[in-house]
């Protein structure tokens, strides 16, 4: 598929429409539960052949960008579509060691070192501030795969820089499995046929909906929703979470000046959509939490409230179609494995597509990835159930069971996910 008219937005992202003109308007007010930049597309004369023997990747988040880059590196023809091209406003992302290893395998390790901040230590604390246990993450993962917290938009920039193909401003309306490929109808009215279609379009995946309907989506057990925002660093120097009976709040430095804040319920309780929930839930928490909450509540327009949903499917593939990343297996962010699993998925699927026999490539990809994803989801479920224990009992046991749980969840992930 040939496109015309390449443009770059204010964040340096390449943006392309299927016509000749595109405008990305970053001043459009954002929906607070959908933190990505809005795109206004003005189409001109269309160009290109919508029938293609290559791969169509739907979604230009971390999963889609990683897969497109991996396919380009393997000289596999690929097109990329994204409903809202441009910088993703999804705040920050925590990259555990296996995410860092996967990004190194993707060839962007040097660029990754230039953004964000390494995470040398984790601390789990009670609602009163008492240290329950800590983890030396650098010692656990090793110096070459130190965990890292980065701004999501900066990671997108790193991944997009090497593509050589720009996302078309569209997504899919329908996908139908056909002999030797898949027939696709786009939201802008175009139709086409591809040799292989990949849904990398997140927890609300249009591709998954077209292939499997609404099956597999569920509310996360630990917390049905979350609040996320950035705030000035109140003096924390590591990953640190405070947890009590009603809520848990994580502060994670992304650089020397600011922290990423993630707040949620701890035992499946409601997370109010009014920012006052934050002030009420965490009113007695320690000083660093109070500092970021004061900043946030004075600037409610900077807060993101969104549901926490999980996807559990018996299969991620149908014919020459496959799902990767959150579209296939979104999981509550207890172990922060969303980006890691997405990039690992991308590397494995790219290898299988480059190997040929696209009729079975999806099945081979899923066989290689299923055990690892099941492991992460099982430990997510285990943690969620344990969080339902009485707080006094949880705080009594965590100094012993916490480090064991960390090692059990992350230990197998130190091996390459391929």
Which of 47, 77, 74 lies closest to 196 in space, CA to CA?
A: 77
pLDDT of residue 269: 80
> What is the residue-level pLDDT of the chain in tens, covering all 418 positions?
333 333 223 333 333 333 332 332 323 333 333 333 222 222 222 333 455 789 999 999 999 999 999 999 999 999 999 987 664 556 999 999 999 999 999 999 999 999 999 999 999 999 999 999 999 999 999 999 999 999 999 999 999 998 876 788 888 999 999 999 999 999 889 999 999 999 999 999 999 999 999 877 888 988 999 999 999 999 999 999 999 988 999 999 999 899 999 999 988 888 999 999 999 999 999 999 999 999 999 999 999 999 999 999 999 999 999 999 999 999 999 999 999 999 999 999 999 999 999 999 999 999 999 999 999 999 999 999 888 889 999 999 999 999 999 999 999 999 987 7
DSSP 3-52: ---EEE-TTS-EEE-SSS--B--TTSPPPTTS-S---B----S--S-SB-
State the Cα–Cα distance between residues 306 and 273, nearest whole angstrom.
8
Domains of the chain: 6-90+154-218+311-375 (3.50.50.60)
Nearest to 88 by CA among 58, 61, 108, 115: 61
Name the token pair of 326. 């959150």
CA distances from 400 to 132, 133, 248 (A): 9, 8, 20
Cα separation, 3 vs 199, whole angstroms? 21
Q: What is residue 215's predicted lDDT score, i.e. its pLDDT? A: 77
User: What is the structure's pLDDT at 163?
Assistant: 87
Specify whether the backbone of 393 is left (phi greater than 0), alpha (psi in -120 to 50) or beta: alpha
Token reading at 136: 């030396």
Which two structure tokens, joined as six digits, stand for 347? 């590397």
Q: Judge residue 391's burial from the number of C-beta atoms within 10 Å of its C-beta, 0-12 exposed, 13-18 middle, 19 or more buried.
A: middle
Q: For the whole model, what pTM was predicted?
A: 0.87
Task: Report residue 77 as tokens.
Answer: 């023809």
- H-helix or E-strand containing 99? helix 97-105
Q: Would you call 411 exposed, middle or buried from its count of C-beta atoms within 10 A (0-12, 13-18, 19+)?
A: exposed
Q: How far apart are CA 173 and CA 197, in angstroms?
A: 13
Contacts of 73 (CB under 8 A, 6+ apart): 107, 350
CA nearest to 74, candidates 417, 364, 324, 353: 353
Annotate 241-253 with b (16+ C-beta within 10 A) or e (fewer): ebbbebbbbbbbb
Nearest to 254 by CA among 271, 277, 274, 238: 238
Tell me how far apart the alpha carbons of residues 55 and 45 are, in angstroms, rounded to a whole number.
Answer: 24
């Amino acid at each position: 598929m040939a496109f015309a008219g390449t443009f770059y937005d204010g964040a340096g992202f390449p943006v392309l429409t299927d016509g000749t003109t595109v405008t990305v308007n970053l001043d459009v007010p954002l929906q607070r539960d959908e933190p990505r930049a809005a795109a206004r597309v003005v189409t001109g004369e269309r160009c290109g052949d919508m029938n293609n023997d290559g791969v169509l990747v739907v979604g230009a988040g971390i999963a889609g960008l990683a897969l497109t880059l991996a396919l380009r590196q393997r000289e596999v023809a690929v097109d990329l579509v994204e409903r809202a091209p441009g910088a993703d406003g999804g705040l920050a992302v925590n990259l555990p060691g296996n995410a860092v290893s996967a990004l190194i395998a993707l060839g962007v390790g040097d660029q990754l070192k230039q953004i964000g901040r390494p995470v040398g230590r984790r601390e789990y604390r009670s609602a009163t501030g008492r240290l329950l246990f800590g983890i030396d993450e650098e010692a656990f993962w090793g110096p070459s795969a130190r965990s890292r917290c980065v701004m999501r938009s900066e990671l997108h920039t790193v991944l997009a820089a090497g593509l050589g193909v720009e996302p078309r401003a569209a997504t899919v309306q329908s996908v139908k499995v056909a002999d030797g490929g898949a027939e696709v109808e786009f939201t802008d009215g175009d139709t086409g046929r591809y040799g292989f279609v990949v849904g990398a379009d997140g927890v609300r995946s249009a591709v998954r909906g077209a292939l499997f309907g609404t099956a597999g989506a569920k509310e996360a057990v630990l917390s049905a929703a979350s609040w996320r925002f950035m705030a000035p660093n109140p003096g924390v120097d590591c990953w640190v979470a405070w947890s009590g009976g009603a809520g848990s709040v994580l502060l994670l430095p992304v650089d020397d000046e600011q922290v990423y804040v993630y707040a949620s319920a701890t035992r499946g309780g409601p997370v109010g959509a009014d920012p006052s929930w934050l002030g009420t839930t965490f009113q007695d928490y320690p000083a660093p939490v109070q500092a970021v909450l004061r900043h946030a509540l004075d600037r409610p327009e900077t807060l993101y409230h969104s549901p926490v949903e999980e996807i559990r499917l018996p299969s991620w593939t149908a014919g020459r179609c496959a799902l990767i990343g959150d579209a296939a297996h979104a999981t509550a962010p207890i172990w922060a494995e969303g980006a890691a699993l997405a990039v690992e998925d991308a590397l494995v699927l790219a290898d299988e597509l480059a190997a040929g026999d696209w009729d079975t490539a999806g099945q081979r990809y899923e066989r290689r990835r299923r055990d690892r994803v099941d492991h992460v989801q099982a430990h997510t479920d285990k943690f969620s159930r344990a969080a339902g224990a009485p707080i006094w009992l949880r705080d009594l046991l965590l100094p012993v069971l916490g480090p064991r749980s960390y090692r059990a969840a992350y230990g197998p992930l130190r091996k390459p996910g391929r």
